[in-house]
Amino acid sequence: MIGPDAPTVLEARDLVRSFGAVRAVDGISFAVREGEILGVIGPNGSGKSTLFNCLLGQLLPSAGQVLLDGRDVTGMRPAALNRLGVSRTFQLLQVFPQLSVRDNLILAGQEHVGSRIARLFGSPDAGLGAAADRMLGLFRLEALAAEMAASLSYGQQKLLDAAIAFMAGPRLVLLDEPAGGVNPTLLAGFRERLRAMNTEAGATFVVIEHNMEFVMSLCTRVICIAQGKIIANGAPAAVRADPAVIEAYLGD
Amino acid sequence: MAALLAQLLLTGLATGAIYALVAIGFSLLWQGSQVVNFAQGDFVTLPAFVMLGVMGYGLPLWVAMPVALLVSLLVLGVLFRRVLVQPMLRHGVMPLVIATMALSIFMENAMKNVASAEAYPFPGLSGGIDLGPLFLDWQSAVTLLSAVLAVLALHLFLSRTRTGRAIQATAQNPAVARLLGINVDRMILITFLINAALVTLAAVLISPAYLVKFNNGEAIGLTAFCAAIIGGFNQVRGAVAGGLLLGVTETFAATFGPDQYRAAVPMVLLIVFVLFRPQGLLGRREERRV
Amino acid sequence: MSHARHAAVLGAALAALVLAGLVSFALQPYGIYLLSLWAVYTIAATGLNLTLGYAGQVSLAQAAFVGIGAYTTALLMPHGVPFGVSLMLGALGCFVLGLGLGFPALRVQGHYLAFVTLALTTLAFLVMRNETWLTGGIGGISNIRRPAGFASGRGYEFLCLGVLACVTLLAWWLLRSPWGRAFMALRENPMRAASLGVDVRAYTLLAFAIGAALGGVAGALYAPLVQYIEPSPFSLDFSLALLLMVVVGGSGLFLGPFLGALVAVLLPEWLRFLQDYYLVIYAALVIVLLALCPEGLIGLAERHLFRRKGRA
């Protein structure tokens, strides 16, 4: 599906992040090629979220490099990375509770439109009204457009959270436990939407997830992290069958 | 010259020790329940007035002190927490911060109405002892000694006793503390009581020099907060270091610099620290989050 | 939020201004002075509301900015600088200072920031008091003339209301633009905002600078209104008073400062019988209001009148 000659979008080179004496990320290297849906699995506390935070400029890595399209972006601020087309969700819900659902979406796209000064004098919705409505439709949130995000149910906020990440049409999206706390019915639809974003919009994904069934059915490749190191990297079925992976989970 | 410097150092350390007491209380409240107490300086003024009130009946200071301590524990400890902090915490940190600002206005104006805008003298120790070139005045010596003893006692309490360690666990992570079976609610209350005791001691020590006036708290509270930040918030050691540094710097600046800018010293130090060493003297650098 | 609601909020603000203008014809000079003062306070509080209410950055420096605006006007006008120009210069000076103040805001958040801005107010106050060669020290500057054509009480009130109208329109425009949304994002969730390309640093600085500039505008109007300035009105007490105006009216609500400033101007007049206890009672009332409804009086009214949907 993804040719070996597909260009590398994101690459981690020997990333290390220590907290005191603990090396939460301990020399991780991998590459994500365009169009891939890369799953990142591993037991709790294995360093997955720390890895994400290092990749996205939330944390400064102690050593190693992060490359976006071959360019060194190590330690670049999250906002700057986002404007280069990298988007993310967080493990815990992160929406803007006192903004309307529609304003949440417009906010998510507005910094990609024109210059800051031009936005001040332009239209209040930064010309994103139609795009926001399209996204609302895609995530079945039309009826809630005018509601405050805080008044939505958990599942709806989770959808909004994902919709926010996709609003600016990112090339690369890092999802931190997107399936967590979402009921199975919503989850199936959610997976289809992610697939659609991947095939139609050509977005590349890196997904941290505990729901093994979700990972296996969505991802094109999976890496498993244990104690800050990659212990398996390959096709979903192969990684699941890997004795080292089973050992890591059972030993947990 | 050396004698003068030593003299100033002593005075500065004594003043700084008082700042440290108030700053420690400040940090403890913040750790214990995310209260940034803008009325902390007024918390020092109140027990001073209580003591003056008691002494107004002809009673000696050593009677007035326990009375003031009792009032502080009750009003600045229990009542402050029950009436202001607890109802406000559910709204988040910001309304609580603003409420303590309103509390400061409330306390200052209430004290002004009861006691007028006058600055009242407060009994202290006079005299001292000549140590060659150095004159050790009793007030500074006792201030320094009591503050050091108080800090030491607090440190031993927090690190050596079961309750003290429970308080520290609560400050670091209330959820985990609760899982460990710690009575979080009681630990937080104890934090408030410790603060009340610290400000009472500070009131006894600072009032002879600063007199007692309704709005003295503004300067004391601000200086104490500067001390807490400069030393590195979240740490008793930091508050002590910050307090001493500020006390000494302020004393030197007042002697050698323009007196009318004395009040600027803590502010300038605060801004410099925030800009160039936000983690403070002893703090560790915080992770970049945003 | 809907366009209708946005428009209604602006309409209500402008209607309040027209009403203030009309009422003045039935008032004694003191009443007219109070209305002018209300306009000045509303401008300063609107600036602070932008910084604190919308962008979520606590600032206790607003009194300093009002003071800087006031001294700028008082010092420049005798040298033949027209009022409008000195107002602009004062606002510009505050804008630049506000940018500078924003830098600590990038390092620290919330309560730390409150104390840093508090430090700035104290420093500004010391400069106003001590640099006698420039500010006249505690003697202050007297005989500040009002601009030609607006010398009468009512004439000057109309000038204040006119400037407030301009400020209202500007603030309204700003807050419904994408900038307003970005400011609110800083308040709501700065980490998520950064992950969406919102330049948290730039917007934080702007929130400070624009709020400060409005403080400067208020100061520029204040000096000729009272015709005599000295340092004490620009002390920390005034910063706290402005902060309470924002909170009492409704922090993060467009009409909040209008109502908060009205309460701050009128309540002392109505509660004159309390005399010295006024501030004690006022502070107690604020604490009760905060405990009941942190969204202030407008929030309290909305809670009872409508099901709340969005912030105005």
Average pLDDT over residues C77-83: 94
Q: What is the Cα–Cα distance from C47 to C167, expressed in whole angstroms?
A: 9
Residue of C181, C203, C309 to mutate when probing chain A, most A C-beta within 10 A: C181
Chains within contact range of chain B (3+ C-beta pairs < 8 Å): A, C
pLDDT in tens, B28-68: 998 877 788 999 999 999 999 999 999 999 999 999 999 99
Which of B87, B218, B290 is nearest residue C236 as measured by Cβ atoms? B218
Assess if residue B162 is contained within a domain: yes
- The separation between CA C199 and the C-alpha centre of its own chain, rounded to angstroms, equals 25
What's the predicted TM-score (pTM) here?
Answer: 0.92
HEC string of B217-269 equals HHHHHHHHHHHHHHHCCCCHHHHHHHHHHHHHHHHHHHHHCCHHHCCHHHHHH
Least confident of A89-103, A236-250, B24-38, B268-282: B268-282
Single-letter code of the amino acid located at A24: A
Give tens-digit pLDDT for C25-49.
999 999 999 999 999 999 999 999 9
Chain C residues within an 8 Å CB radius of B93: 110-111
Using a CB-CB distance cutoff of 8 angstroms, which residues of chain A are in contact with residue C193? 79, 96, 107
The boundaries of the domain holding residue B73 are 15-118+136-276
Q: Which of A215, A216, A239 is nearest to A226 (CA)?
A: A239
Nearest Cβ partner for B229 among C56, C112, C129: C112
B160 CB within 8 Å of a chain A CB = no
> Is C202–A96 a contact, with Cβ atoms under 8 angstroms apart?
no
Question: How confident is the model at residue A187, as a pLDDT?
Answer: 85
| Segments making up each domain of chain C, as ranges | 3-234
B289 confidence band (pLDDT: 50, 70, 90): very low
pLDDT, tens digit, 9 for 90 and up, residues B90-131: 888 788 888 999 999 999 999 999 999 999 999 988 888 888
pLDDT recorded at residue C312:
43
Of C116, C119, C194, the CB nearest to B290: C194
How close B66 comes to chain C (CA, Å)? 27
**Is B254 domain-assigned?**
yes
Chain B nearest-CA distance from C23, in A, is 32
Structure tokens, B27:
């940090």
pLDDT of residue A190: 84
Quick check: is B145 in a domain?
Answer: yes
Q: What is the pLDDT of residue B2?
A: 80
pLDDT exceeds 60 at position B287: no
Nearest CA in chain C to B266: C119
Residue B68 lies in a domain: yes
C204 touching chain A per CB within 8 A: no
Is the pLDDT at C310 greater than 50, yes or no?
no
Average pLDDT, chain B: 89
How far apart CA A47 and CA B123 sit, in angstroms, is 61
Output the pLDDT for position B290. Answer: 34
In this complex, is the C-beta atom of A103 within 8 Å of any C-beta atom belonging to chain C? Answer: yes
Query: Is C200 within 8 Å of chain B by CB?
Result: yes
Q: Which amino acid is at C11?
A: G
Is pLDDT at C244 greater than 80 in this prediction? yes
d(CA B102, CA B88): 13
Kindly state whether C120 is in contact with chain B, defined as any CB-CB distance less than 8 angstroms: yes
Please check the confidence at residue C311 and state whether its pLDDT lies above 60: no
B43 to chain C, closest Cα gap in Å: 16
Distance separating alpha carbons of residues B194 and B227, to the nearest angstrom: 18
Average pLDDT in the A131-142 region? Answer: 91
Write out pLDDT tens, residues C108-141: 666 677 778 888 899 999 999 999 999 999 999 9
| ipTM summary value | 0.90
Q: What distance in Å separates the CA atoms of residue B225 and residue B20, rounded to the nearest whole number?
A: 10
Residues from chain C contacting residue A83 (CB–CB below 8 Å) = 197
Pick from C1, C177, C196: CB nearest A164: C196
Number of domains in chain B: 1
Q: Which CATH number characterizes residue B256's domain?
A: 1.10.3470
Task: Kindly list the residues of chain A whose beta carbon comes within 8 Å of any beta carbon in chain B.
Answer: 58-60, 78
The number of C-alpha atoms within 13 Å of C16 and in the hemisphere containing its C-beta is: 21
d(CA A182, CA B94): 32
Best A22, A54, A58 residue to mutate vs chain B (most B CBs within 10 Å): A58
Q: How confident is the model at residue A3 (pLDDT cuts 50, 70, 90)?
A: low
Give dist(CA A218, CA A206) in Å, integer. 11
Find residues 139-158 of chain B whose CB sits inside 8 Å of chain A.
none
Q: CB under 8 Å to B7, separation ≥6 — which residues? A: B134, B135
Q: Which of B103, B109, B113, B215 to mutate to test the interface with C (most CBs of C within 10 A)?
A: B109
CA distances from C80 to C35, C147, C148, C152, C159 (A): 28, 11, 12, 20, 19
Q: In this structure, is residue B3 part of a structural domain?
A: no
**Residue A59 and residue B290: Cβ atoms within 8 Å?**
no
C200 touching chain A per CB within 8 A: yes
* Residue to test with chain C: of B86, B98, B222, most C Cβ within 10 A: B98
- The whole-number average pLDDT for the span A52-59 is 90
Task: Tell me whether residue A65 is exposed, middle or buried, using C-beta atoms within 10 angstroms of its C-beta: 0 to 12, 13 to 18, 19 or more.
Answer: middle
| pLDDT mean across residues, chain C | 91
Nearest Cα of chain B lies from the Cα of C46 at a distance, in angstroms, of 17
pLDDT digits (tens, 9 = 90+) for B183-198: 999 999 999 999 999 9
Residue C13 has what pLDDT?
Answer: 96
The Cα-based distances of B113 to B110, B228, C232, C265 in angstroms read 5, 31, 20, 22
CB contact under 8 A, C311 and A147: no
Residue B285: pLDDT over 80: no
Give residue B176's pLDDT.
84
Region B263-279 average pLDDT: 85
Residue A87 in contact with partner chain C when CB distance is under 8 A: yes
Q: Would you state the torsion angle of the CA atoms of residues A82, A84, A88, A93, taken in this order, to the nearest 10 degrees? A: 20
